[in-house]
């Protein structure tokens, strides 16, 4: 027999290697020696060679050539050889190996071995490398071992059955009837295996839930026995009797009781006992309480029991252990939108204390829970705490807060004054993290609050003077200064016009601002040229604009040229072109107009619901049998007089003739044309759809040369104040006898308080009553929404 190096000597040599190269060289030499020794078929030292191969394998080196040696060791009569052989099989084999058939036969033979430990080795190995084929071959043999005289084997068999059912749910039927027998065993390990087996059967085969619910009473009895046992040395862990079994029983009860009132009633009493009698002073007791809370939340427990569960989570928030506080916040966050919301509100103060926790993950969960807890009654308190957090929070948390804070502010604002002041505080505290789409929403909010314009302009002017490096703050501030910045000159402390212009000029020269922020500032200066009163300041603005006519930035240069030309040749138009943006006018029931804020919805013209017969007639238009009309390439856009629309002179009527005033380039640039209005009756617009923050309106224009043809301009508006709509797709279909042609929309993204347009041409040769089925989809807050509606309230003028 050749001399053989011991395993511990090999381990010492490998650990003594100074470099990875030396280690690889040593391992390669040792593997070569092992191959030579294995080829000599020395059975007495085979287990030593395999043991060394296992250590080499655990270091990450290939050792697959020892697989057959493991099978030889399994067939040996020595327990030491079997132990090394089964351990090697567990590590070196997996379910994809071709030697499984040989191993399956060996394991099946071992199930009848007289030694319980050999049977246990076979079951452990089967659980480690089980494949679906092995499970089907050996499931019956494993089920027979549930009746083995040794509890050690019964426990191993139950755990192996769990692995078999997890691998192939169809085999659950073989073990379903054996769950009750395992639960009735006197050994805690066997009962634990039975509970795990029952749980996985319910998860893999929900149709067996009703059969397994007969075990609820026995599980309740088991749980009560564990609670009443005062001292069990074999199972006691820090004063709690077998917490591992308790946790698994609670999980099984949660699975059985979900959606079943009868089972829930049987569990209520025992869950109340566990929740009140378990010691929360130690971590093991907290583990049992946590599982109890999860069980109460998922089953149809009575209201008092659910309140008790929320109170337990409230105590968890006061625990010094960070992990316990974290799981409590997570569980409360899942339950806040259920009927338990009022009970969670009572722990609001404790949740607010978590905002000051040094652990960033706890603060993040606390912020999420605070957002979920916001209501009309507590928004002022919670927002104050969240704004205080922003001053010390790291950047990633500030970004999350700013991205989510505007929605509850808009929804639950107690007053417009509070709404405006809160948004101003946000801009001053964390304005650098405001997104581009939120910039436009904030501008829309400030523009609509006319009575607060002096306060807004004063605070934004101060903010931009203090820090001009934050792009979102600068963009909001300079837009508001250009729109109503003249209020600074009439309030205390009074700010001179020259000081405002000087501030904006400094922003134009700042190297901290990007091109878009400078464009905002440029437009603001131009607007101030019609807001300010002193002619000297207007001349100063003209000089500032003229300095940028040769700027390297193409956008600034183009605007400077256009604005300078407007000053020189079309100064009489400047006041009207740059007048303040008017508020949206909503028509009252009595026909009078009333100014409202920009986010007011007008559901007056929503199309009424039609009869089912009419709906069914058109529903087939967009069905699978007929393709949905797709937008075609955009043809020439029917442009109306841009100036008339800007000057607010009323609706633009269809045109019959266009005559340019003159031929210079600026006329073309500003769209200055003289239009001769059609004397025909104006066709009223309709609202085709208004729901779920989407408003779709149709405006019409008849073709004088073709009475059977008319154009529809579809306008889709996002009525939310802060949320952007993306991937907007509009489709339309008409009955047979009609023809429809759709142009490309101008965009598929609708910012908050904005709208997009899409043109359609309808051919109606028979002049039949117009009907249309519209279908559209969009993405908002990451959720895709689809809807459709029938539009039948088309004006009669279209068929005359």
**Looking at residues 273-277, what average pLDDT do you find?**
91
Residue scoring higher pLDDT (11 or 664): 11
Dist. CA 612–CA 616, nearest whole Å: 6
pLDDT score, position 583: 64
Indicate whether 100 pLDDT > 50.
Answer: yes
pLDDT score, position 674: 36
Residue scoring higher pLDDT (627 or 166): 166
pLDDT score, position 287: 93
Dist. CA 467–CA 431, nearest whole Å: 10
pLDDT score, position 259: 84
How many helices (H) and strands (E) are present in the chain, helices listed first? 36, 14
Indicate whether 224 pLDDT > 60.
Answer: yes
Indicate whether 640 pLDDT > 50.
Answer: no
Dist. CA 534–CA 189, nearest whole Å: 92
Angle, nearest 10°, between helix axes 436-448 and 416-430? 140
Cis peptide before 493 (omega within 30 of 0): yes
* pLDDT tier for residue 143 given thresholds of 50, 70 and 90: very high
Q: Give the H/E segment covering residue 797.
A: none
pLDDT score, position 95: 57
Share of the chain above pLDDT 90, in %: 36
pLDDT in tens, 279-335: 888 889 999 999 999 999 888 888 889 999 999 999 999 998 999 999 999 999 888
Dist. CA 225–CA 221, nearest whole Å: 6
pLDDT score, position 394: 83
The answer to whether 532 and 491 have CB atoms below 8 angstroms apart is no
Dist. CA 413–CA 379, nearest whole Å: 7
pTM higher than 0.85: no
* Local structure of 372: helix, strand or coil: helix
Dist. CA 391–CA 428, nearest whole Å: 10
pLDDT score, position 599: 37
pLDDT score, position 98: 64
Dist. CA 347–CA 327, nearest whole Å: 15
Dist. CA 85–CA 79, nearest whole Å: 10
Chain mean pLDDT for the chain: 82
Q: What is the 3-state secondary structure (H, E, C) of 245-287?
A: HHHHHHHHHHHHHCCCHHHHHHHHHHHHHHHHHCCCCCHHHHH
Q: How many CB atoms lie within 10 A of CB 494?
A: 9
pLDDT score, position 584: 54
Tokens 């916001």 belong to 374
**Looking at residues 247-275, what average pLDDT do you find?**
91
Q: Tell me the backbone φ, ψ of residue 687, rounded to 5 degrees.
A: -100, 115
DSSP state of 620: G
Dist. CA 489–CA 483, nearest whole Å: 14
**Looking at residues 530-556, what average pLDDT do you find?**
90
Indicate whether 249 pLDDT > 90.
Answer: yes
**Looking at residues 640-661, what average pLDDT do you find?**
35
pLDDT score, position 520: 93
Indicate whether 659 pLDDT > 50.
Answer: no
Residue scoring higher pLDDT (98 or 77): 77
pLDDT score, position 681: 55
Residue scoring higher pLDDT (244 or 737): 244
pLDDT score, position 248: 94
**Looking at residues 419-426, what average pLDDT do you find?**
90
pLDDT in tens, 350-400: 998 888 888 889 999 999 999 888 888 889 888 888 888 887 788 888 888
Query: What six digits make up the tokens of 772?
Result: 């249309």
**Looking at residues 777-795, what average pLDDT do you find?**
87
pLDDT score, position 256: 92
Which residues, other chains included, contact 524 with Cβ-Cβ below 8 Å and sequence gap of 6+? 478, 479, 481, 482, 485, 504
pLDDT in tens, 548-601: 999 898 999 999 999 999 988 888 888 888 888 776 544 444 444 444 443 333
Instruction: Tell me the HSE value of 640 on the side-chain side, using a 13 A CA sphere.
Output: 15
The answer to whether 471 and 513 have CB atoms below 8 angstroms apart is yes
* pLDDT tier for residue 99 given thresholds of 50, 70 and 90: low
**Looking at residues 259-270, what average pLDDT do you find?**
89
Angle, nearest 10°, between helix axes 283-298 and 243-257? 10
pLDDT score, position 151: 93
Angle, nearest 10°, between helix axes 497-509 and 471-484? 150
Nearest to 258, CA basis, from 301, 219, 306:
301
Residue scoring higher pLDDT (624 or 457): 457
Nearest to 157, CA basis, from 184, 186, 196, 131:
196
């Amino acid at each position: 027999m050749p001399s053989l190096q011991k395993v511990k000597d090999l381990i010492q040599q490998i650990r003594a290697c100074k470099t990875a190269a030396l280690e690889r060289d040593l391992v390669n030499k040792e593997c070569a020696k092992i191959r030579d020794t294995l080829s000599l078929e020395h059975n007495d030292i085979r287990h030593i060679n395999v043991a060394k191969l296992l250590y080499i394998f655990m270091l990450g080196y290939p050792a697959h050539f020892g697989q057959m040696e493991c099978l030889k060791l399994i067939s040996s009569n020595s327990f030491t050889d079997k132990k090394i052989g089964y351990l090697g099989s567990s590590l070196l084999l997996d379910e994809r190996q071709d030697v499984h058939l040989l191993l399956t036969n060996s394991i099946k033979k071992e199930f009848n071995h007289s030694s319980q430990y050999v049977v246990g080795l076979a079951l452990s190995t089967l659980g480690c490398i089980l494949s679906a084929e092995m499970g089907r071959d050996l499931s019956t043999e494993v089920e027979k071992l549930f009746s083995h005289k040794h509890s050690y084997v019964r426990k191993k068999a139950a755990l192996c059955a769990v692995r078999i059912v997890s691998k192939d749910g169809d085999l659950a039927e073989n073990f379903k009837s054996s769950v009750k027998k395992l639960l009735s065993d006197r050994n805690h390990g066997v009962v634990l295996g039975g509970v795990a087996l029952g749980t996985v059967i319910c998860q893999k085969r929900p149709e067996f839930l009703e059969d397994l619910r007969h075990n609820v009473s026995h599980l309740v009895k088991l749980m009560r026995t564990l609670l009443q046992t005062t001292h069990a040395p074999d199972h006691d862990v820090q004063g709690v009797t077998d917490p591992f079994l308790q946790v698994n029983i609670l999980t099984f009860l949660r699975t059985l009781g979900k959606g079943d009132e009868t089972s829930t009633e049987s569990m209520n009493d025992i869950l109340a006992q566990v929740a009140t009698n378990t010691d929360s002073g130690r971590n093991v007791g907290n583990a049992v309480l946590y599982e109890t809370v999860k069980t109460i939340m998922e089953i149809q427990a009575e209201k008092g029991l659910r309140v008790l569960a929320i109170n337990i989570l409230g105590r968890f928030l006061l625990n010094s252990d960070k992990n316990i506080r974290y799981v409590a916040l997570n569980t409360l966050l899942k339950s806040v939108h259920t009927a338990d919301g009022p009970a969670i509100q009572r722990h609001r103060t404790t949740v607010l204390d978590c905002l000051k926790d040094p652990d960033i993950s706890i603060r993040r969960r606390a912020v999420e829970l605070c957002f979920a807890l916001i209501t009309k009654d507590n928004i002022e308190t919670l927002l104050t705490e969240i704004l205080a957090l922003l001053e010390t929070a790291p950047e990633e948390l500030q970004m999350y807060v700013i991205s989510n804070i505007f929605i509850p502010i808009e929804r639950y604002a107690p007053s417009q004054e509070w709404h405006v002041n809160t948004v101003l505080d946000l801009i001053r505290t964390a304005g650098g993290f405001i997104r581009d789409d939120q910039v436009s929403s904030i501008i829309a909010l400030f523009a609509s609050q006319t009575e607060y314009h002096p306060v807004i302009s004063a605070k934004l002017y101060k903010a931009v003077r203090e820090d001009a490096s934050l792009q979102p703050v600068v963009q909001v501030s300079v837009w508001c200064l250009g729109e109503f910045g003249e209020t600074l000159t009439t309030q205390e402390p009074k700010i001179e016009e020259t000081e405002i212009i000087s501030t904006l000029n400094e922003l134009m020269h700042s190297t901290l601002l990007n091109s878009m922020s400078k464009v905002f500032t440029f437009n603001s200066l131009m607007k101030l040229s019609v807001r300010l009163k002193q002619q000297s300041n207007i001349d100063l603005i003209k000089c500032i604009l003229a300095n940028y006519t040769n700027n390297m930035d193409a956008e600034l240069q183009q605007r400077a040229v256009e604005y300078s030309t407007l000053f020189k040749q079309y100064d009489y138009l400047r006041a009207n072109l740059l007048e303040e943006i008017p508020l949206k006018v909503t028509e009252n029931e009595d026909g009078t107009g009333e100014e409202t804020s920009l986010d007011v919805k007008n559901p007056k013209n929503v199309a009424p619901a039609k009869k089912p017969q009419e709906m069914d007639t058109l529903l087939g238009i967009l069905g699978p049998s007929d393709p949905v009309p797709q937008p075609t390439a955009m043809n020439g856009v029917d442009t109306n007089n841009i100036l008339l629309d800007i000057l607010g002179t009323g609706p633009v009527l269809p045109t019959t003739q266009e005559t340019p005033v003159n031929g210079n380039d600026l006329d073309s640039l500003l769209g200055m044309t003289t239009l001769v209005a059609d004397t025909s009756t104006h066709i009223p617009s309709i609202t085709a759809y208004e729901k779920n923050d989407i408003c779709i309106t149709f405006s019409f224009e008849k073709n004088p040369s073709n009475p059977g043809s008319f154009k529809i301009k579809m306008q889709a508006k996002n009525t939310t104040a802060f949320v952007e709509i993306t991937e907007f797709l509009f489709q339309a279909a008409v009955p047979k006898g009609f023809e429809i042609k759709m142009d490309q929309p101008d965009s598929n993204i609708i910012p908050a308080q904005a709208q997009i347009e899409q043109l359609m041409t309808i051919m109606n040769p028979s002049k039949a009553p117009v009907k249309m089925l519209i279908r559209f989809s969009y993405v908002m807050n990451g959720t895709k929404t689809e809807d459709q509606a029938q539009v039948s309230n088309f004006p009669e003028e279209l068929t005359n």
